[in-house]
Amino acid sequence: MAETTDLDPTIAQAMEAFNDHDTERLMAEFAEDVTFSDPFQDELSKSELQGFTAEVFEAFPDVRYEQHRVISGDGRATAVEVTIHGTHEGEFTGIPPTGQTVALPGVTIIDVAEEGITSWRDYFDKQSFAEQLGLE
């Protein structure tokens, strides 16, 4: 597992806040004009992201990012190879709780500027997610 010291401190603090399910601390790491996207969301603003994050924490009360490898390029963008773990215990994007656990391999691309994280993009396989929930 990659150490958080391999990450930009802002990203490390955001990942830690996510894993602690601390929405307030997580949002503090984002710039006001941050954008977020993942296979379920095209692009969310900061206020929309706060609501989506609360939905994720409710639907997957044990959700967490496990970091495997950190790749930093131009000093602004960082790629983090991750596995997203969680147990589906609440409704998520219209999917009723299944009680199934997921372990989704993926990549998170994060851009950081002086004002904080400006972009967070999660990439993982929605088909694998559906299969792990027993929906396919």
Residue 49 sits in a domain of what CATH number?
Answer: 3.10.450.50
**In terms of C-beta distances under 8 Å and separation of at least 24 residues, what long-range contacts does 51-58 make, across chains too?**
53/18, 53/23, 53/26, 53/27, 54/23, 55/92, 55/93, 56/92, 57/21, 57/23, 58/90
pLDDT value, residue 136 = 78
What is the residue whose two structure tokens read 């959700």?
63
pLDDT value, residue 4 = 46
Q: Report the chain (136 residues): mean pLDDT per 10 consecutive residues.
A: 64 96 97 95 93 96 95 81 97 95 96 95 95 92
* Total domains, the chain: 1
Residue range(s) defining the domain that contains residue 122? 4-132
Contact at 8 Å (CB) between 121 and 38? Answer: yes
DSSP SS3 for 115? coil
